[in-house]
């Protein structure tokens, strides 16, 4: 357990590690602390922004977007390696994640595969958005990767943590793929070397997410009528991530709640696969079936179980 660095301490830690930091206007008091506590701090979480252009990335991370108010991170790491502070305190970057992963980060041991989304990461993790489209083709310049290394090491050094305290969003929350374009194991090796530590053990064995058709169908039938955005089955996030990648679902609704918007997106996927409603001209029902869900999994990297 660690008390979060103060804004001044955070700034000093990044600059002491060699990072070039530009302070955003009002960043020291821009946060979501009214929605919950900030701290204790346990680790660093890295993201890609899915944006093009530093100005656009900073604006989005500061203001947020419909359904997800800003600030969305503590700082943006731009392609030129400059670090732009966005907020300080609780920020909307991590959402709910896997408690077993959090326990591994705290203990600084290799993390298990993330298959749950039940613990508040916004409270406990520093978050950095890296300017990148996240399509696997957008390059990661050396200056930006060096800044990621320096930022991660700076916070770890200030807290006395090792490189296993640095994780990617894809290791924290089921269905996430960021940061895409470099491996977290490789980045942790760089952070460990900068800290003067030996390289950490391999973090996780390769594994594909598994989605239970039975539990997914149950969520599809029960979630739309529930108040709020209840998550009855975490595997929904994996499926929603695939629907987002297909352009059928807005990322705002990638929340693990199989609501009416997800039903509509799944209906459109079913129709792409050649399945329609029972009556002529009627849309597919949006309740996942084995064939269409398996096709989605093959295309987007998850396996379907009964």
Q: How many domains does the chain have?
A: 2
Domain closes at, from 144, 160, 195: 195
Q: Is residue 74 assigned to a domain?
A: yes
Shared domain for 166 and 250, answered yes or no, is: no
**Domain boundary at 195, 223, 249, which?**
195
Residue 205 domain-assigned? no
Give pLDDT tens digits for 11-35.
Answer: 999 999 999 999 999 999 999 999 9
262 in the same domain as 174: no
Region 210-239: mean pLDDT is 91
- Mark whether 171 and 87 lie in a shared domain: yes
Q: Which domain holds residue 88?
A: 7-195
* Residue 274: Cβ-neighbour burial (10 angstroms; 0-12, 13-18, 19+): exposed
User: Residues with Cβ < 8 Å from 135, sequence gap 6 or more?
Assistant: 180
pLDDT in tens, 93-145: 999 999 999 999 999 999 998 888 999 999 999 999 999 999 889 999 999 99
| End position of a domain, from candidates 195, 230, 256 | 195
Kindly list the distances between the CA atom of residue 230 and the CA atoms of 194, 221, 238, in Å, as whole numbers in the listed order.
42, 13, 16
Close Cβ partners of 250 (under 8 Å, ≥ 6 residues apart): 244, 261
**Quick one: average pLDDT of 284-289?**
92
- Mutual orientation of helices 260-272 and 290-300 as an angle, nearest 10°? 90
Residues 37 and 178 in one domain: yes
Phi, psi of 27 (to 5 degrees): -65, -30
- 165 and 28, same structural domain? yes
pLDDT (average), residues 210-222:
94
Task: Give the Cα-Cα-Cα angle 205, 102, 179 (nearest 5 degrees).
Answer: 60
The predicted-structure confidence for 157-208, as pLDDT tens digits, reads as follows 999 999 999 999 999 998 899 999 999 999 999 999 999 998 886 645 556 7
**141 shares a domain with 222:** no
**Residues shown for the chain:** 306
Three-state secondary-structure class, residue 92: coil
pLDDT at 230 over 90: no
Q: Chain centroid to CA 91: how far? A: 13
Q: Is residue 80 over pLDDT 80?
A: yes
Angstrom distance (rounded) from CA 220 to CA 224: 7
Between residues 67 and 61, which one has the greater pLDDT? 61
Predicted local distance difference test score (pLDDT) of residue 203: 47
From CA 52, how far away is CA 255, in angstroms rounded? 24
Residue-level pLDDT at 206:
52
Report DSSP state, residue 70.
S
Instruction: Quickly state the pLDDT bin for 59 (edges 50, 70, 90).
Output: very high
* pLDDT value for 283: 86
State the DSSP code for 41.
B
DSSP state of 2: B
Would the pLDDT of 293 be above 60? yes
216 and 191: one domain?
Answer: no
Sorting pLDDT into bands at 50, 70 and 90, what band is 282? Answer: confident
């Amino acid at each position: 357990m660690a008390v979060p660095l103060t804004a001044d301490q955070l700034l000093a830690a990044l600059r002491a590690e060699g990072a070039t930091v530009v302070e955003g206007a009002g960043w020291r008091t821009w946060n979501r602390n009214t929605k919950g506590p900030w701290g204790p701090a346990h680790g660093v979480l890295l993201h890609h922004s899915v944006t093009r252009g530093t100005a656009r990335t900073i604006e989005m991370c500061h203001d947020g977007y419909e359904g997800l108010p800003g600030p969305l991170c503590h700082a943006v790491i731009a392609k030129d390696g400059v670090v732009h502070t966005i907020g300080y305190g609780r920020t909307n970057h991590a959402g709910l994640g896997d408690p077993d992963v959090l326990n591994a980060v705290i203990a600084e041991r290799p993390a298990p595969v993330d298959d749950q989304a039940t613990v508040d990461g916004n409270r406990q993790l520093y978050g950095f958005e890296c300017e990148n489209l996240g399509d696997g083709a957008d390059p990661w310049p050396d200056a930006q990767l060096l800044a990621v290394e320096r930022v991660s090491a700076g916070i770890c050094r200030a807290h006395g943590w090792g490189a296993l305290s640095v994780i990617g969003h894809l290791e924290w929350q089921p269905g996430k793929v960021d940061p895409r374009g470099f491996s977290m194991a490789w980045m942790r090796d760089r952070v460990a070397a900068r800290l003067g530590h030996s390289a950490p053990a391999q973090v996780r064995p390769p594994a594909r997410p598994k989605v239970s058709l039975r539990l997914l169908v149950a969520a599809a039938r029960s979630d739309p009528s529930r108040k709020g955005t209840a998550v009855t089955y975490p595997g929904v996030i994996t499926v929603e991530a695939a629907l987002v990648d297909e352009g059928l679902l807005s990322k705002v609704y990638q929340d693990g709640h199989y609501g009416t918007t997800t039903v509509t997106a799944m209906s459109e996927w079913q129709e792409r696969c050649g399945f329609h409603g029972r009556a002529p001209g009627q849309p597919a029902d949006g309740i996942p079936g084995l064939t269409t869900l398996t096709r989605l999994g093959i295309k987007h990297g998850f396996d379907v179980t009964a």
